[in-house]
Amino acid sequence: LLSGKGVLCPSNMGDDISLKFRQQLLLIDDNLGTEDVAALKFLCIDLIPFKKLESVQSALDIFQVLMAEEYLNEEDTFLLAELLYRIKCHFLLKKLGYTKERVQECLPEKGRVSPYRQMLYELAENITSEMLKEIIFLLRDQLPKRQTTISALELLILLEKQGLLTESNVQMLEEICMSVSPDLLETVNGYKREKVSQDSALLRSLFCLHPFPADQYELTTPGIPHYSTLTNKLRCLTCCSFSVNSVLSGVKILSWPWKQLGTVIPNTTFFLLSFLQKLTSYKMDGPRRGFCLVINNVKFDGGLRERKGSCKDAGELERVFTWLGLDVRIYTDLTSQEIKDLMWTWQHLKDHKDRDCFICCILSHGESGAIYGKDGELVSIRMIMSYFTAKQCPALAEKPKLFFIQACQGQDIQRAVYVEPDAQVPGLSSIEQRISPSESIPEEADFLLGMATIDGYASFRHVQQGAWYIQALCSKLQLLVPRGEDILSILTEVNEDVSRRADSLGTKKQMPQPAYTLRRKCIFPVPRHPPPS
């Protein structure tokens, strides 16, 4: 029975533990290998001081520490049952009087292993030896030089010790997974989705508390209804929440007497409440995200050059916006009149009312404030956007309308190898004719215009790899949407990316320019599937 492992004597485990219970623990220990013990230690990191865990050598040691910390006793063995369930040792559950199904039923109420720890363990379980080698190579500068061999669990612990990985900051993990395996990235994104969902529910319960009666505004702290519930929930959010912007999606904040409340609630809580009250975002969690039009003009009549590489951009936009939940429609080589007709058609589409937003991407040659149709005729960007004002398209009223334009906004410049400007031949525009992006936006709210370049300058397109701006936009959307970033923050990163690029000679630069009348933050929900590329 004891398998030569030593007896769990009363002096070690406590005098009040029955012989039968000790026998149960010994039987469980006898069926656990070295990897199982390492997994148990990892899952207990949030429950037991790490210093105590470091000295653990066997499952018996873990049981002893759990009992010393009052997590395990003869009357309550659920935590141990949960741990065995998490490491998939289901056959041992019966020794504690549990079944796999019974543990699953009890987890929502009694589970102690955090979703964060579960996610890390699942990640480690799916990291192959080849993946681990790649990850270690990527993190070589962060790992101790003396560390020759390391397991996936040990690697995650090292990252946590260095503060590079926390419950509310999994950015490094995302970047690593994106480089190594999209499947691993989906595990992280699944955790983030669940985290945002839980925090949203917490916020909803927080802000659905009853408003304070007028005659109680000036009462002291004990007189405020739900005060302890309120502050406890806020502390929870402050400690463990991801991006507040993500959490706030879909949460309606009640109008409370904030000034009076500030006199009786601690400053930190009051400031957080004020912050949450001001921060709102567009509703982007409906069953249908919206339509995305991609107008891809490649070949032109007359003297305009073929836009080689543009199909690469159109394909990338289709993949990324489909991933974000939009219904993408691609239109190729439209004349100026066909562009206007298309806008009219989409303006009158009734399906907009069931969608969260509208996106239009135009890839073409251009001049200041305008883009070219296939026929060489200019179409005003302002005219294109004006089809979707609240008056012209009521179904999109108060919804974000995003326009991304890949086209030059000025005269042609000297070309470099493999890089072309999206501009007309020199001499067809002048400084006097320039129109700033802000002038292209209709004079009402909820519009965003993302221009590939500032007014008067060319934008660049690699004839094989696509346009700098579109490629950066797609890349940053894939990276930053899963982190809960809003569209303006993402476009700031796009600016940074494009500004660091140059042509093959290192002489030509580009700076995108967004202009907007958005009233709220526009945050895409985190997709359920990994990024397309």
Q: Give the CATH number for residue 138.
A: 1.10.533.10
Residue 435: inside a domain, yes or no?
yes
pLDDT greater than 90 at residue 90? yes
Find residue 370's DSSP bridge partners: 367, 380
Q: How confident is the model at residue 411 (pLDDT cuts 50, 70, 90)?
A: low
pLDDT greater than 50 at residue 283? yes
Phi and psi at 485, nearest 5°, equal -75, 145
By annotation, the residues acting in catalysis are 365, 408
Identify whether residues 88 and 140 lie together within a single domain. Answer: no
More confident residue, 97 or 217: 97
pLDDT greater than 60 at residue 10? no
The answer to which of 12-16, 156-160, 200-204 has the lowest mean pLDDT is 12-16
**How far is 472 from 490, CA to CA, in rounded Å?**
10
Identify whether residues 171 and 205 lie together within a single domain. Answer: no
Of the three residues 232, 251, 278, the one that is the final residue of a domain is: 278
Listing from the earlier edge strand, what are the strands of the sheet with 419-421? 419-421, 460-462, 466-467
Q: Give the type of residue at 104.
A: Q
Identify whether residues 140 and 80 lie together within a single domain. Answer: no
Identify whether residues 104 and 124 lie together within a single domain. Answer: no
Q: How confident is the model at residue 81 (pLDDT cuts 50, 70, 90)?
A: very high
pLDDT greater than 70 at residue 87? yes
Cβ atoms 438, 382 nearer than 8 A: no
**How far is 294 from 289, CA to CA, in rounded Å?**
16
Residue 5: inside a domain, yes or no?
no
Of the three residues 216, 248, 278, the one that is the final residue of a domain is: 278
pLDDT greater than 70 at residue 89? yes
Identify whether residues 98 and 129 lie together within a single domain. Answer: no
Cβ atoms 368, 411 nearer than 8 A: no
DSSP codes, 22-85: HHHHHHHHHT--HHHHHHHHHHTTTTS-HHHHHT--SHHHHHHHHHHTTS--SS--HHHHHHHH
Q: Residue 69 has what pLDDT?
A: 86
The 3-state DSSP class for residue 208 equals: coil
Q: How many Å is the Cα radius of gyration of the chain? A: 29
What value does the mean pLDDT of the chain take? 77
- Average pLDDT value for residue range 67-73: 89
- Domains held by the chain: number: 4
CA atoms within 13 A on the CB side of 136: 18
Of the three residues 243, 278, 313, the one that is the final residue of a domain is: 278
Identify whether residues 108 and 124 lie together within a single domain. Answer: no
More confident residue, 201 or 262: 201
Identify whether residues 194 and 236 lie together within a single domain. Answer: yes
Residue 524: inside a domain, yes or no?
no
pLDDT digits (tens, 9 = 90+) for 419-477: 455 555 444 344 334 455 555 555 578 999 988 765 544 545 455 567 888 998 999 99
Identify whether residues 324 and 465 lie together within a single domain. Answer: yes
Identify whether residues 103 and 124 lie together within a single domain. Answer: no
Residue 528: inside a domain, yes or no?
no
**How far is 422 from 257, CA to CA, in rounded Å?**
54
Identify whether residues 138 and 97 lie together within a single domain. Answer: no
pLDDT greater than 50 at residue 74? yes
Residue 533: inside a domain, yes or no?
no
pLDDT digits (tens, 9 = 90+) for 114-138: 999 999 999 999 999 999 999 999 8
Expressed as residue numbers, the domain containing 76 is: 10-113
Identify whether residues 147 and 173 lie together within a single domain. Answer: yes
Residue 529: inside a domain, yes or no?
no
Tokens of 34: 């070295």
Q: Residue 444 has what pLDDT?
A: 74
Element at 126 (helix H, strand E): helix 115-126
Cβ atoms 512, 491 nearer than 8 A: yes
- Average pLDDT value for residue range 26-47: 93
**How far is 449 from 401, CA to CA, in rounded Å?**
9
Output the domain CATH number for residue 367: 3.40.50.1460
pLDDT digits (tens, 9 = 90+) for 323-350: 999 999 999 999 999 999 999 999 999 8
Q: Are strands 447-451 and 513-516 parallel, antiparallel or unpaired?
A: antiparallel
Question: Which residues, including other chains, have CB under 8 Å from residue 502's CB and lie 6 or more apart?
Answer: 508, 509
Q: Residue 195 has what pLDDT?
A: 77
Residue 523: inside a domain, yes or no?
no
Element at 448 (helix H, strand E): strand 447-451
**How far is 531 from 533, CA to CA, in rounded Å?**
6
Identify whether residues 444 and 429 lie together within a single domain. Answer: yes
pLDDT digits (tens, 9 = 90+) for 362-373: 999 888 888 999
**How far is 448 from 450, CA to CA, in rounded Å?**
6
Q: How confident is the model at residue 218 (pLDDT cuts 50, 70, 90)?
A: very low
The answer to which of 65-79, 84-98, 116-130, 442-456 has the lowest mean pLDDT is 442-456
Residue 355: inside a domain, yes or no?
yes
